[in-house]
């Protein structure tokens, strides 16, 4: 560690809290901390106070080259015996050690996450528990990988036997967003390490602090140098050269659809596989037989959790016409009562959005929606009791029509757009009328209807009678412009494995296709 930059939880009511130190770290390449070659740094801004509380290195293509070289060398080192060709059991031990250290430092990491991206502390603690659980889970899958190596394949010919070997894909670039900084990184890092890949993680320039702390943990548990590297920096300067690098065997990306498209174009030039987890504009359909209180709470959670900055946020609410008035009254009153303020304070349920540019963008979306005819039921601005920080009150917009911008585009903030429907058919049509297809949700007491609607929703994830619960055992990913490939579960591990067939000729007889010379 170099100098430590100290920031006090500067919100007035947190004055009594202990100072929180943002460690100043360098790039993590080949098992060492190194300054970026061009010496650039990016300030870390606390979105709750708008104060600079630290800095992260700003990597460029020179640093990317160093990291890729280190990763390639580490992947091949000693014919892979230390990592890529070691047993899954051996790698699993490292993953469990990471999980233990994350658990030990859970509160510290959660506080850093909150300072860096504005996430309410109770959510950040929850995220850190999920991070540890995800490393544990993939430790288990790494061990199971040993059991399925050389799995036989049934063949129609007796002269042959085929077996399947699952091998790590190689050097992988993992490019991640800021809304769940450490958790989104973990969804990729844990399976990639479990598979035996060498990793270069490029977190978002808006929230990299906890990913650098992960590097420190990984250094402590002793994963071989070069197997895990962290390059922080801006997307075009650090992410683009990483995605385009000849020696990167795969890119796994989570972020906006626009960046995903550009990554896919770069990868296509050298025929490199990619998996893309992109944006969304997910619908929540509430039918008139739903319990109103329960449904309102899920609607709020689906739109305002993580300050509304969730790719799978159910940010389009479809209400059956005959319950709309009652529902909206409850929704507006309850949303207006959400505790918004210092995200480091326990019980806070809405913190600031991540950056000034997101704040401005969200307010613009709200004003455009109003100009287009939507009605603002609550929120729409920074609450009066907060003088600073990128806070946007929980916002509900009703009378939204399918042609409006607020219905079509991803806001990535605490903004819920509401429309109504008469029939199940109309609800499904409105829900699916989007280029996105990440998630969808339905709330109804009628199980048959829930089944029909979940089958009809064009989405990779469907929640029934809830919104947002996510488990590392279940697959995550979208259809349509929300991307392709699946993270989490066993599907997440497959992302980082290549499948090799080994086919043996086992007959004692010659093959016999070409007549032997002696018989010509
Ligand atoms: P973003 O696309 O701006 O950035 C994501 C990452 O890509 C960052 O690390 C960024 O530095 C990097 N990047 C930017 N330009 C790049 C380029 N030209 N080449 C290579 N890398 C580049 O997205 P964001 O603003 O960080 O995150 C918000 C978006 O992420 C939203 O659209 C959200 O829906 C999506 N998201 C999706 C999921 C999912 O699982 N589907 C999860 C979280 C977030």
d(CA 175, CA 240): 10
292-304 helix and 324-336 helix, angle to the nearest 10 degrees = 50
d(CA 98, CA 88): 15
d(CA 255, CA 276): 8
Q: What pLDDT score was predicted for residue 520?
A: 59
d(CA 157, CA 155): 6
Q: What pLDDT score was predicted for residue 516?
A: 86
Q: What is the pLDDT along the chain (520 residues), one digit of tens a residue?
A: 333 333 434 444 444 456 788 999 999 999 999 999 999 999 999 999 999 999 999 999 999 999 999 999 999 999 999 999 999 999 999 999 999 999 999 999 999 999 999 999 999 999 999 999 999 999 999 999 999 999 999 999 999 999 999 999 999 999 999 999 999 999 999 999 999 999 999 999 999 999 999 999 999 999 999 999 999 999 999 999 999 999 999 999 999 999 999 999 999 999 999 999 999 999 999 999 999 999 999 999 999 999 999 999 999 999 999 999 999 999 999 999 999 999 999 999 999 999 999 999 999 999 999 999 999 999 999 999 999 999 999 999 999 999 999 999 999 999 999 999 999 999 999 999 999 999 999 999 999 999 999 999 999 999 999 999 999 999 999 999 999 999 999 999 999 999 999 999 999 999 999 988 876 5
Probe target for ligand 1 pocket from 130, 235, 365, 412, with the most ligand atoms within 8 Å of CB: 235
d(CA 264, CA 196): 24
**Ligand 1 center to 256 CA (angstroms):** 4
The answer to whether 408 touches 281, Cβ cutoff 8 Å, is yes
User: What are 515's two structure tokens?
Assistant: 């007549």
Q: From the candidates 311, 348, 450, 472, which is the catalytic residue?
A: 311
311 carries an active-site annotation: yes
Q: What pLDDT score was predicted for residue 18?
A: 64
User: What are 487's two structure tokens?
Assistant: 């993270």
d(CA 416, CA 413): 9
Using CA atoms, how far residue 262 sits from 176, 265, 412, in Å, is: 14, 5, 20
Ligand 1 atom closest to the Cα of residue 233 is 11
d(CA 350, CA 347): 9
Q: From the candidates 213, 277, 345, 410, which is the catalytic residue?
A: 277
| Cα–Cα nearest to 24, from 45, 51, 47, 55 | 55
pTM summary value: 0.95
Q: What pLDDT score was predicted for residue 16?
A: 46
Q: What pLDDT score was predicted for residue 518?
A: 77
- Residue located via tokens 């109003």: 370
- Residue located via tokens 């309410």: 120
The answer to whether 460 touches 438, Cβ cutoff 8 Å, is yes
Q: What pLDDT score was predicted for residue 100?
A: 98
Instruction: Give 292-297's long-range contacts (Cβ < 8 A, gap of 24+).
Output: 292/323, 292/326, 292/327, 292/330, 293/330, 294/443, 294/465, 295/327, 295/443, 296/327, 296/330, 296/331, 296/334, 297/334
Q: What pLDDT score was predicted for residue 517?
A: 85
Using CA atoms, how far residue 417 sits from 303, 307, 317, 334, in Å, is: 9, 15, 6, 16
With 0-12 / 13-18 / 19 or more C-beta atoms within 10 angstroms meaning exposed / middle / buried, residue 284 is: buried
User: What are 484's two structure tokens?
Assistant: 């392709």
Q: Which residues line the pocket of ligand 1, CB cutoff 6 A?
A: 175-179, 184, 202-205, 234-236, 239-240, 243, 254-256, 259, 262-263, 277-280, 311, 410, 412, 438, 478, 483
d(CA 424, CA 483): 27
Q: What pLDDT score was predicted for residue 1?
A: 31
Q: What pLDDT score was predicted for residue 203?
A: 98
d(CA 356, CA 223): 37
325 carries an active-site annotation: no
d(CA 54, CA 357): 19
Q: What pLDDT score was predicted for residue 17?
A: 55
**Ligand 1 center to 255 CA (angstroms):** 2
Residue 306 backbone zone (phi > 0: left; psi -120 to 50: alpha; other: beta): left
d(CA 71, CA 81): 15
User: What are 496's two structure tokens?
Assistant: 């980082």
d(CA 466, CA 443): 7
* CB burial readout 204-225, b (16+ within 10 A) else e: bbbbbbbbbbbbbbbeebebbb
**Ligand 1 center to 412 CA (angstroms):** 12
d(CA 259, CA 266): 11
φ/ψ of 199, rounded to 5, equals -115, 140
Ligand 1 atom closest to the Cα of residue 187 is 40
Q: What pLDDT score was predicted for residue 9?
A: 41
**Nearest CA owner, ligand 1 atom 18:** 236
Ligand 1 atom closest to the Cα of residue 412 is 31
């Amino acid at each position: 560690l170099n100098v430590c930059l100290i920031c006090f939880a500067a919100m007035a009511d947190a004055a009594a809290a202990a100072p929180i130190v943002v460690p100043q770290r360098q790039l993590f390449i080949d098992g060492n901390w190194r300054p970026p070659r061009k010496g650039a740094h990016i300030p870390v801004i606390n979105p709750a106070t708008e104060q600079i509380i630290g800095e992260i290195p700003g990597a460029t293509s020179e640093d990317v080259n160093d990291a890729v070289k280190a990763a390639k060398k580490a992947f091949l080192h000693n014919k892979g015996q230390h990592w890529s060709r070691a047993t899954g059991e051996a790698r699993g031990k490292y993953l469990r050690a990471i999980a233990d250290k994350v658990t030990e430092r859970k509160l510290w990491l959660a506080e850093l996450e909150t300072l860096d991206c504005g996430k309410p502390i109770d959510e950040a603690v929850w995220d850190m528990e999920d991070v540890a659980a995800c490393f544990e889970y993939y430790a288990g899958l790494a061990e199971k990988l040993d059991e399925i190596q050389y799995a036989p394949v049934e063949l129609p010919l007796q002269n042959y036997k085929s077996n399947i070997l699952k091998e790590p894909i190689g050097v992988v670039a993992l490019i991640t967003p800021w809304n769940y900084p450490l958790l989104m990184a973990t969804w990729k890092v844990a399976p990639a390490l479990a598979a035996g890949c060498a990793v270069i993680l490029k977190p978002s320039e808006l929230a990299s602090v906890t990913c650098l702390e992960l590097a420190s943990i990984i250094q402590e548990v002793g994963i071989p140098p070069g197997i895990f590297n962290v390059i922080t920096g801006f997307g075009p300067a650090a992410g683009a050269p990483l995605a385009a690098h000849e020696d990167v065997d795969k890119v796994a990306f989570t972020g906006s659809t626009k960046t995903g498209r550009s990554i896919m174009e770069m990868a296509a030039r050298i025929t490199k596989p990619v998996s893309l987890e992109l944006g969304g504009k997910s619908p929540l359909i509430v039918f008139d037989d739903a319990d109103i209180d329960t449904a309102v709470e899920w609607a709020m959670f689906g739109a305002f959790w993580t300050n509304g900055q969730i790719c799978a946020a159910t940010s389009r609410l479809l209400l059956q016409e005959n319950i709309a008035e009652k529902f909206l009254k409850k929704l507006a009153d309850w949303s207006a009562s959400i505790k918004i303020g210092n995200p480091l304070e326990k019980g806070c349920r809405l913190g600031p959005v991540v950056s000034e540019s997101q704040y401005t963008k969200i307010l613009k979306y709200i004003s455009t929606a109003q100009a287009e005819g939507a009605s603002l039921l609550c929120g729409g601005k920074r609450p009066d009791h907060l003088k600073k920080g990128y806070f946007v009150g929980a916002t509900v917009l009703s009378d939204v029509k399918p042609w409006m911008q607020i219905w079509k585009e991803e806001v990535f903030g605490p903004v819920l757009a509401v429309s109504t429907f008469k029939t199940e058919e109309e609800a499904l049509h409105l829900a699916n009328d989007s280029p996105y297809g990440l998630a969808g949700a339905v709330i109804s007491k009628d199980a048959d209807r829930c089944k029909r609607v979940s089958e009809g929703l064009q989405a990779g994830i469907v929640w029934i009678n809830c919104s947002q619960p996510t488990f590392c055992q279940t697959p995550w990913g979208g259809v349509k412009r929300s991307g392709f490939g699946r993270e989490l579960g066993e599907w997440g591990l497959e992302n980082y494995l290549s499948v090799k067939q080994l086919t043996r000729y086992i007959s004692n007889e010659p093959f016999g296709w070409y007549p032997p010379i002696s018989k010509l």
